[in-house]
Structure 1
């Protein structure tokens, strides 16, 4: 097993373990925002029992690495939308509403912080647990076979990490599915409107057909009367000249 310090020094080693987010809840429950995807800088600081400034300084030093694992800074329209959709449903004590930006972290980013944060007992415990699980899962059974309990725990941790990623993907799909459902609802409403218009047109056409039929009958009657008049004229021609 590599020493704990190796995680602090090797980005490649950290990247190889970045998906094992299940170890976070094994050490301490990580509270999430209502979307189930993000935590704020304050929540990260509370989890690791350090100050927000420590987390912010760490994020500034390792911004590229943490960003690749899901850390982001919200500003402008993105921040207003996040406040409206997420923070409005969560009582963030002392959150400064006038702040022009907000750092948020995914579970992968939080695990990344655990692998970088030196002076946090919680972070050290996460690193030890992470390395123990990795050793139990990858060690050859013929040389250092782990106990069944440790092996099962390691496997369960891997499964939980995979499920966490699947859950995050499904939560990402949630808004897309809602938007698709809304569009389908609007299409259904338009189709209903078209059905009503077609039904109205059918009624108008039926009325027009009735009028046309009535006019046809009247014209047929007039035609009959005209022929009768012509026949009477032929049988009784008007005498030529005046009376004598």
Structure 2
């Protein structure tokens, strides 16, 4: 569980496993375009049994990482040449891109498998990768191998804990953001009301002084009349 969570969150761990493209066919046969190298977005979605929109969201969020594993979008003359040389050989119907065609080599498809959360096929690919990696580490012999395995295990666990902690922190911040905003607004209102009350207190004090002075002025003639 920790290892899979770390794989989903850590680009460095995904990079370390990106060459194990054989995991794709071990889980499910990957149908390629006639060039034997690439698949389209629709074919990736079909492989992972999800909608194209799900794959497109992965592209938007992790485009740089996918491009480092060979993902690219053909346009213009490159697109026309690919359509003529490759897509025209595709059996049955094939995509008819107008402005651009996204192409995934096997490494980029494996990259998607290590990013796609809501796909049973992607989870099976990740499980195969992690199980294979665990077997490889277990087969390592000698103090140096054991030390390296322990170090990797600790790194995976640390990344998983950081990822889980970060996710919880982000969720709490998002949940309490409206409350914090309301408290800030309430504090501002209270400050303004306090200013108003202080101003009223000063004004009332001035009025009290004026009344006292007025009483003194009114009372003075009365005392003078009584003496007469």
Which TM-score band (shorter chain)? 0.5 to 0.7
Residue 69 of structure 2 corresponds to which residue in structure 1?
69
Structure holding more helix per residue: 2
SS in 2 for 1:130: helix
Look up the SS of the partner of 2:115 in the other structure.
coil
Alignment of 1:1-244 (within 5 A): 3-91=3-91, 93=93, 95=95, 97=96, 99-140=98-139
Evaluate the alpha carbon distance shift between residue 94 and residue 10 of structure 1 in structure 2; reply closer, same or farther with a 3 A threshold: same
Three-state SS of the structure 2 residue aligned to 1:139 is helix
Flag the 1:44–1:92 CA change in 2: closer, same or farther, 3 A.
farther
- Deviation, 1:57, is 1.1
Q: Compute the TM-score of the two structures, normalised by the length of structure 1.
A: 0.55
Q: CA RMSD of the aligned region, Å? A: 1.8
Q: Is 2:75–2:100's contact at 8 Å kept on the other side of the alignment?
A: yes
Q: Deviations over 1:97-139 (max 9, x none)?
A: 2521010000000000000000000000000010000110122
1:131-164 CA-to-partner distances (Å, cap 9, x unmatched) read 0001101225569xxxxxxxxxxxxxxxxxxxxx
Distance (whole Å) between structure 2 residues aligned to residue 44 and residue 93 of structure 1: 16
- The answer to whether the 8 Å contact 2:87/2:94 transfers is no
8 Å contact kept, 1:50–1:120: yes
Larger Cα Rg: Structure 1 or Structure 2? 1
* Deviation sequence 1:190-242 (CA, Å, 0-9, x none): xxxxxxxxxxxxxxxxxxxxxxxxxxxxxxxxxxxxxxxxxxxxxxxxxxxxx
Question: Structure 1 CA distance, aligned partners of 2:88 and 2:26?
Answer: 29
TM-score (structure 2 length as normaliser): 0.59
CA change 1:50–1:128 in 2 (3 A) is same
**Do the aligned partners of residues 112 and 98 (structure 1) sit closer, same or farther apart at CA in structure 2, a change above 3 Å counting?**
closer
Runs of 4+ in structure 1 displaced over 4 angstroms?
Answer: 140-143
CA deviation profile, 1:66-107 (whole Å, cap 9, x unmatched)? 000010001000100110010000036362x25210100000
Partner of residue 240, structure 1: none
Separation in structure 1 between the aligned mates of residue 57 and residue 65 of structure 2, nearest angstrom: 14
Deviation at 1:3, TM superposition (A): 1.8
